[in-house]
Amino acid sequence: MPSHFSGYLLPEAGSPDRPPLDGLCDSLPSSAIEVSVTKEGPAGKADRGHIRVESASPSPSEQEGFRGYWLFVDDQGLQNSDSDLYAFQLLEFQVVDQATGASDARIIGYQETGAHGILEVELPDHRLILVPLIPQHATVDQKSRTVTIVDLASLDPDSQAL
């Protein structure tokens, strides 16, 4: 990722784990705030990226900063490296169930809990299960663009395998 790039902040809409406009922004609403984003490197033992967001205009609430806003950047402006992975990129990864070898599920969303990420995985019958993004349940291979889930059925509350 470049060390500096431009973006926009949009007020949160809907639940806190869903960006407004379903993460797509063809035209900016009047509430958008233009910002400069600086990558500051990894932070913490989870090696999650740390960024600084600055705006030429003051935030709507000086005490809250930009809390309650979503940061939008043009994905074409993000230069991939071997170490950078963004949550939206997981939507394009293939899902493999290690227990069965099946690859017919797909990632349709991502949530952050603070402790770890949660993958929203849609099964072939269109049911949704949540998969903790921790080594005991799932591993990500950026090179092959694959998420391997140890055993999808064990995470499915409606599964007969439980």
pLDDT digits (tens, 9 = 90+) for 143-154: 899 999 999 999
What is the value of pTM for the model shown? 0.63
**Which CATH fold would you assign to the domain 88-155?**
SH3 type barrels. (2.30.30)
Helices and strands: H and E segment counts in the chain: 1, 10
pLDDT bucket at 46, cuts 50 / 70 / 90: very low
d(CA 141, CA 158): 28
pLDDT digits (tens, 9 = 90+) for 83-125: 677 777 888 899 999 999 999 999 998 887 778 889 999 999 9
- The least confident of 32-36, 68-72, 118-122 is 68-72
Residue 104's pLDDT is 96
Instruction: Report whether pLDDT(40) > 80.
Output: no
What is the b/e burial string over 98-116, where b = at least 16 CB atoms within 10 angstroms of the residue's CB?
eeeeeeebbbebbbeeeee
Distance between the two ends of the chain, CA-based, in angstroms? 42
Residue 10 near residue 23 (C-beta atoms within 8 A): no
- Annotated domain spans of the chain: 4-82, 88-155
Residue 22's pLDDT is 59
d(CA 38, CA 35): 10
Residue 138 near residue 149 (C-beta atoms within 8 A): yes
